[in-house]
Every structure is written in C-alpha cells, then in structure tokens.
Amino acid sequence: MSQLMLFDFGQRKLVDLKEASTWASRYLNRKVTVSNISYLLQYGRIKKYDEHGRILVSLEELKEYYDSFFRQLRSKELLEQPVNWHLSFDQYKEEERTKHVHRLHPYKGKFIPQLVEYFLDSHTDEFKRDVYFSSGDIVLDPFCGSGTTLVQANELGMHAIGVDVSSFNVLLSEVKVGKHNLAFITDMVHNLASKIEELRGVISVFEEHLSQELAIFNSQYFPSPEYKRKVASKEIEEGRYAKDKEETFLSIYNKLVDKYQIKLRQDKDKTFLDKWFLDPVRKEIDIVAKEIKLITDTDARKVLTVILSRTVRSCRATKHSDLATLKEPVITTYYCKKHGKICKPLFSASKWWDFYAKDTLSRLEQFNRLRTETFQVCLTGDSRRIDIYNEVKKKNIKFAEILQKDKIRGIFSSPPYVGLIDYHEQHAYAYEIFGFERNDEAEIGSLSKGQGEKQRRAYVEDIVRVLINCRRFLQKGYDIFLVANDKFNLYPEIAKQAEMQIVNLFNRPVLNRVEKNRDNLYSETIFHLRQK
C-alpha cells in the first residue's frame, strides 16, 4: 500500500484507476486491468470520485466489493458439490474467452475454448498430468453446436469432425474453421451496406433527432454512473422512478414519430420476422438477404449469411435485457434495466451491419494467423444414426482416408441439457430469412419437451444411442469427455447402458461474467468415459 499514490478525499484514501488495477492485481493474485476497474464504476459497483477532473476510486470500497463477491462465490449454498476452482478459468478476460472466431455469432450453451484446450492439449496447463490427445489425432464432437471443439482442434494441430442436427449450426461452424477470400467478401460487405443506405432516407434524420433528445434526457435523469450507484445503495427506488421517467419521455418519442411520419409496425404479424422487427428494419433485412442469395460464390455467401444473421439478432424489436430470451415486441422507447437509462428500439440495421461485418472479417483474419493445416469437417445429421465415415467421404476424400486408417481418437462434446434450450428456435430468424430446413423434432432434450420423468428417460436413451453409434468409429482405448450439468444424475445410467465406465469426474464452477451476474452461479461436470 505504501507504494501507491494516495489522494485525500475527506476521510477516504483514493487512488487513480491505474493504481487501483495494480492494487487489485496484487490483492487477488491475478491480472486486473484498468478496464476491469472502469467496468465496476460503469455498473455502479463502486463509487467514482472526481479530483480536479481526475477519476479516483476508494481502495476500501474496492476491497469491500471483492471480499463480498468472493464470499458469495465460495459459499456452499451456491454450489451443491465441491468443485475444481482451477477449471473456472476465471483468470481469463472476456476477450480471451471469446477470442477470434469464438465470438462470430451469439449461441446459447457453448463452452469456453479454454475448457477444450485443457483436455485436448497436453501442454496447456502445469496442473494437468494426464495426456489424452496428441497432434494429428482426430477429435469428434457429435453435438458440435457453434463449433468450439472444431476451432480449438485446428488451433492445436488436430483433425476434427462435428455433427449437428441444426443446419444453421453447421453453417456457423463451417464459417469459423473455413478458409475465405476476405478481400472479395469485404467488397461484398460494402456493396450490401450501400443497399441499406439507399433505404434509410428520413429514418436517419428521425434517429439522429431521437438520439439527441435521449442524450439530453438521460444526462439529466439517469447520469452515469451516479444513477446506478444510487440504485445499488437504495437511494433511488428503481421501479417507481424508472416508470415515471419512461412515461415522461414517451410523449417526446410519440411526437417525433408523428413529425417524421415513421411507420413502426409491419402490415402482417404471422411469422417471426413479421413480429419481431420494426417495419424499416424488415425492409433492410429483406433487401440484403435477397442480394446475398444471388451471390454465386458459396463460401462468401456463407460468411455474409452469418454476418446478416448476427446483425438481425441485434435488431430485433426487444429490450436489451431480453435479447437472449424474447418476451414481448417493443416499438417505443423504454427504461432499460441493463443500461440504467431510457433506450430505443432499432429503426435501421445499418449500424450493426457495419460493426459486425468489420468484426467478423477481423476475427476470421485473426484465426487465419493461428490455423494449422488440418482437416475440420462439420456434418448435418443425427448423431444417433449418422454414418460418419460415409458422410466425411462425401465432403473430403483425403480426410476420409485418414479417418478410415486412424479412426477417431476420442470425443469432446457438450450434449444438450435436459429441457433447457430449443436450439433451432434461438436462431428462428435465420431459418426464416434464408429458408434453412428446420429439424426441431430431432433435437435431444429440447426446452419444449420439458424435464419430466418421461423426458429424462428419453434423454438417457438418446444419449446412449449417440454413444453407441459413434463408438464404432473410435479407436480402441478411446477417451470420451462430456460436459454436462447433470442435476438429474442421468450420466451414470447413460454410461452403464452404453457399456462404458466413468473413470473420472471434473466438477467446475461456471462463472457468468461476474460483475454483471453475481448470483447466477452453478457447476457443471466433465464426465470422462472409457470402454468398460
């Protein structure tokens, strides 16, 4: 403490953000950046002090915050069983947990790349003693989802095969691991951006005026970070205060809509696209999708499809806090609990198209610098019955020859959890825009099927069928790692019916971006299975 430059502020000793990050790094014994401290200020976790225009924080308040958080984190009431805290990977910043192509598109239920690296790479961690996979091995993910296992296998010099019933998931995985003509795709991005601009017209003037009014209003009634701090300290009753101000600004909003004659609702309300997008956004989506479908270069079309899908997701007429799970369409300004101010729905896709196109191209380029000359193939199919060898042969004969000769070394996958996610529905907009074939009925453990006893029995049967079918393509002495939050204790029975044995369990805490979601803590288990 004596090495820090302290500032007097009444009875408190304060430091600047750089000194705060240095102190916190020492106190927590892990890297804490200036951005991490700024994040705590932004979300009202600690108070901001101003000394002649210099932002300062209290070390006492910072220590109190970290002590309080880690007391909750390690509480036995939050996690039902002992866990390996080393496997939380909480030392990694968000940008590392979502490195390069891993943030190419939102996806519910994906695991972080560091978890894959830990089990696939023998050199990843000094605490790991066992080696399961080596360079040149073939890894299988029968529930490949957004392709995390395939990407990390490539980065580590391993071949990989992914299987998924969702054609959109397969497309996303293919884009992540594929080689692309980025210069050509960049030209296409600019062409499509010009198509959007041609449609905006009066919308751009309306949005600019609306944004100006919002900035003035929010600065007066929701100053950051003071407002969030006052809500956190109970100085302001958030619900009542927010509702009053929401109604006040709504009159300003309605006058602007009338002034610029903005059409908000679409003429129809039958499909997902009809319901969840304002009329101006829908027009932009339709024209860009039409142009993408006309592109003859298959690979470029796939990349642009992912960019548009990512853009569309952010343009849905919903509150920011409901992006992951939609509730009701929003066509007016509203109080946003996530940002602590009045926010607006999206009236144009232009901003997000530009942002996501640039980000996607950058991430693909980053991965290009890391990729290895290995094979990654993603197959659309049902892992309970798919003939992996024949399907790989249709896509890549050379890889099929390696597969037939060497076979698959093992599996690393996260099967669906019972009754948790409808995987097709989370990307319903993409299926509708591009006409992808939906295969909802083939989903295992989907949310729509529920979590009852009947559903649990069906889940066990389905996962067993997957393991038995995939086993015929594995080497003798295979290693299977399945990541699951097995709250119904189904995996011992799954292993038994698949004639396998659970040789090890790795319980890890799942930390959800802790400053944002402190109370939503749970653990998951990595089941290590081998031949019985």
Alpha helices in 147-297 (DSSP H): 148-155, 167-177, 182-200, 202-221, 226-232, 238-260, 272-275, 279-293
Averaged over 429-444, what is the pLDDT? 93
DSSP 425-449: GGGHHHHHHHTPPP-GGG-SS-GGG
Confidence of residue 424 (pLDDT cuts 50, 70, 90): very high
DSSP 327-365: -S---S-EEETTTTEEE---S-SHHHHHHHHHHHHHHHH
Task: Answer yes or no: do 202 and 319 share one domain.
Answer: yes
Task: Answer yes or no: do 310 and 218 share one domain.
Answer: yes
Q: What is the pLDDT of residue 374?
A: 97
The pair of three-digit structure tokens given for residue 123, joined into one six-digit string? 């050199």
- 458: in domain: no
Of 138-152, 324-338, 393-407, 514-528, minimum mean pLDDT range:
514-528
**SS3 (DSSP) at 196:** helix
- 431: in domain: no
- 439: in domain: no
Q: What is the pLDDT of residue 67?
A: 78
- 448: in domain: no
CATH number at residue 505: 3.40.50.150
- From 73, 93, 113, the end of a domain falls on 73
- Kindly report the average pLDDT of the chain as a whole number: 89
Task: Answer yes or no: do 169 and 215 share one domain.
Answer: no
Q: What is the pLDDT of residue 515?
A: 36
Q: What is the pLDDT of residue 72?
A: 56
Q: Provide, rounded to the nearest whole percent, the portion of the chain with pLDDT above 70.
A: 91
- 481: in domain: yes
Of 71-75, 395-399, 525-529, minimum mean pLDDT range:
71-75
Confidence of residue 73 (pLDDT cuts 50, 70, 90): low
Residue 532 pLDDT more than 50?
Answer: yes
Of 86-100, 147-161, 209-223, minimum mean pLDDT range:
86-100
- 442: in domain: no
Of 60-69, 126-135, 309-318, minimum mean pLDDT range:
126-135
Task: Answer yes or no: do 222 and 330 share one domain.
Answer: yes
Q: What is the pLDDT of residue 213?
A: 97
pLDDT digits (tens, 9 = 90+) for 478-500: 999 999 989 999 999 999 999 99
Residue 383 to residues 368, 466, 472: CA-CA distances in angstroms? 29, 5, 12
Is residue 225 reached through a cis peptide bond, with omega within 30 degrees of 0 on the bond before it?
A: yes
**SS3 (DSSP) at 474:** strand
Residue range of the domain that includes 61: 7-73
Averaged over 455-478, what is the pLDDT? 97
Number of domains present in the structure of the chain: 3
pLDDT digits (tens, 9 = 90+) for 213-253: 999 999 999 998 889 889 888 899 999 999 999 999 999 99
Averaged over 292-296, what is the pLDDT? 96
Q: What is the pLDDT of residue 76?
A: 44
Q: Quote the pTM value.
A: 0.83
Q: What is the pLDDT of residue 404?
A: 96
Round to whole Å and give the CA distance between 298 and 307.
15
Task: Answer yes or no: do 265 and 142 share one domain.
Answer: no
Q: E strand or H helix at 527, and its extent?
A: strand 522-531
- 503: in domain: yes
Please enumerate in sequence order all residues whose Cβ is within 8 A of that of 417, keeping only pairs 6 or more positions apart, or say none: 109, 445, 484, 485
Q: What is the pLDDT of residue 440?
A: 93
Confidence of residue 122 (pLDDT cuts 50, 70, 90): low
Task: Answer yes or no: do 189 and 173 share one domain.
Answer: no
- From 363, 392, 407, the end of a domain falls on 363
Residue 409 pLDDT more than 90?
Answer: yes
Q: What is the pLDDT of residue 2?
A: 42
Round to whole Å and give the CA distance between 383 and 388.
9
Counted residue by residue, the chain has a size of 532
Task: Answer yes or no: do 103 and 216 share one domain.
Answer: no
Task: Answer yes or no: do 175 and 186 share one domain.
Answer: no
8 A C-beta contact, residue 336 and residue 319: yes
Confidence of residue 520 (pLDDT cuts 50, 70, 90): low
Task: Answer yes or no: do 31 and 106 share one domain.
Answer: no
Round to whole Å and give the CA distance between 209 and 254.
13
Task: Answer yes or no: do 229 and 256 share one domain.
Answer: yes
320 exposed, middle or buried (CB, 10 Å; 0-12, 13-18, 19+)?
middle
Task: Answer yes or no: do 284 and 400 share one domain.
Answer: no
Name the β-bridge partners of 290.
none
Nearest to 185 by CA among 278, 273, 303: 303
Q: What is the pLDDT of residue 523?
A: 77
pLDDT digits (tens, 9 = 90+) for 7-57: 554 456 788 899 988 988 888 777 788 888 887 887 777 888 887 778 888
Residue 513 pLDDT more than 50?
Answer: no
Task: Answer yes or no: do 31 and 67 share one domain.
Answer: yes
Averaged over 330-356, what is the pLDDT? 94
pLDDT digits (tens, 9 = 90+) for 262-280: 999 999 989 999 999 999 9
Round to whole Å and give the CA distance between 370 and 183.
19
- From 48, 73, 98, the end of a domain falls on 73
- 467: in domain: yes
